[in-house]
Amino acid sequence: KTLLPNLLFSLSPKALDRSVAASFHENTPCTIFMKGLINIRRDLKLKKKFRKNFPMTHKTGIIGCGRAGSHLALHLKKAGWPLCGLWDARRQAAIAAAELTALPILDPQSLTRAADILFLALPDDALGPACTEFAENNLFRPGQIVFHLSGSQPASLLAPAAQKGAFTASLHPLQSFSRTPDPDENPFLGILMTAEGMPEAVEVGLAMARQLGARGATIAAEAKTLYHAAAVVASNYLVTLMDFAFDLLEASGIEGEQAMAFLSPLVSGTLTNLSKMPPTQALTGPLMRGDSATLSRHMEAMASKRPQRCALYQALGRATLDLAVRGGHLSGADVDTINSLLSAK
């Protein structure tokens, strides 16, 4: 365990070369062993140099200028990461991203030639076909690193690029991006970015996450679907819940444009509580208290003014009832009464 490393690093490659030339016949086992040491040492030195210099010396290209791609281009550049250009089939999207980032718009052939790291920042259903088309046109090359940004799709979706010798991975930012990037606000700061795929690409993806100010972590390919479902519930369905609340406020006489201003402190307070304690302890409100009379009045009012909302209110209530039970907040009688109320047609 100690002889080989000591021998390997005590002699320079030139010294090893001289030893091989002076002492051993080309085809002897000793010569083959010594030449092997030379190759191992050189490979290790190259790998060390790769790890030290790769992220900041190899240029990155981005194909797809939607929300994620545009934010990524802008904030990678602001973080000092080298970029060589971008492209989008939608000309206006590419122009808007180019104006925002001061990056050139390159055609796919030129961009893939220039980029040592390539992002396919495309919708999930477009990733496979685009990757296949690029591979068929020989736009990928050995040693190139190719990422996609999908939260639900595995890196294996980029198999056509891998078959061309590229290192592939997914790098997903757990974030909801605004329609227009703001140069003064970094949406990557402190967020989770998950990487999955070939180790060579994952290593670079995690370095990129650090450069953006994010927290990088690896994830198993088979875990991505539920991981993405969690993100959908926390982000997309939160918007649906807020729309539900806005609609009820409007029905109560509060104008829609004021709804967010009134509800924002309440929502922020709830999120603060959730950051400090588990959901079973953060839960408040009439259901947690076993106040079936208030819940009944809610449903009567909705049946009168927003009947289309009753089913959603009941479904959310049943899920919340389960949470209250797990938190030990309710008696058996309260659980039965509330369950009957929330299950009524």
93 three-state secondary structure: helix
Which pLDDT score, from 0 to 100, does residue 28 have?
54
Q: What are phi and psi of 84, to 5 degrees?
A: -110, -15
Report pTM: 0.78
Which pLDDT score, from 0 to 100, does residue 39 have?
46
Rounded CA separation 292/24 (Å): 91
Which pLDDT score, from 0 to 100, does residue 258 have?
87
Which pLDDT score, from 0 to 100, does residue 256 have?
74
CB 34 within 8 A of CB 16: yes
Which pLDDT score, from 0 to 100, does residue 82 have?
95
Rounded CA separation 152/173 (Å): 12
Residue spans of beta strands (DSSP E) within the chain: 60-63, 83-87, 117-120, 145-148, 167-173, 192-197, 215-218
DSSP state of 253: T
Rounded CA separation 193/190 (Å): 9
Which pLDDT score, from 0 to 100, does residue 3 have?
42
Which pLDDT score, from 0 to 100, does residue 287 have?
96
Which pLDDT score, from 0 to 100, does residue 11 have?
46
- Give exposure, 189-209, as e/b (b: 16+ Cβ within 10 Å): eeebbbbbbbebbbbbbbbbb
Which tokens belong to 159? Answer: 């198999």
27 three-state secondary structure: coil
174 three-state secondary structure: coil
Which tokens belong to 78? Answer: 């602001």
Which pLDDT score, from 0 to 100, does residue 255 have?
81
Which pLDDT score, from 0 to 100, does residue 57 have?
53
* Continuous segment of H or E residues that includes residue 112: helix 108-114
CB 322 within 8 A of CB 316: no
Rounded CA separation 50/343 (Å): 61
CA neighbor of 302 nearest in space, from 288, 289, 317, 282: 317
Residue 167 CA to its chain's centroid (Å): 18
Neighbouring residues of 321: CB distance < 8 A, sequence distance ≥ 6: 287, 330, 335, 338, 339, 342
Q: What are phi and psi of 94, to 5 degrees?
A: -65, -40
Rounded CA separation 265/78 (Å): 32
Radius of gyration (C-alpha) of the chain in whole angstroms: 28
pLDDT tens, per residue, the chain with 345 residues: 344 444 444 444 444 444 444 444 455 554 544 444 444 444 444 445 444 444 445 899 999 999 999 999 999 999 999 999 999 999 999 999 999 999 999 999 999 999 999 999 999 999 999 999 999 999 999 999 999 999 999 999 999 999 999 999 999 999 999 998 999 999 999 999 999 999 999 999 999 999 999 999 999 999 999 999 999 999 999 999 999 999 999 999 998 778 999 999 999 999 999 999 999 999 999 999 999 999 999 999 999 999 999 999 999 999 999 999 999 999 999 999 999 999 988
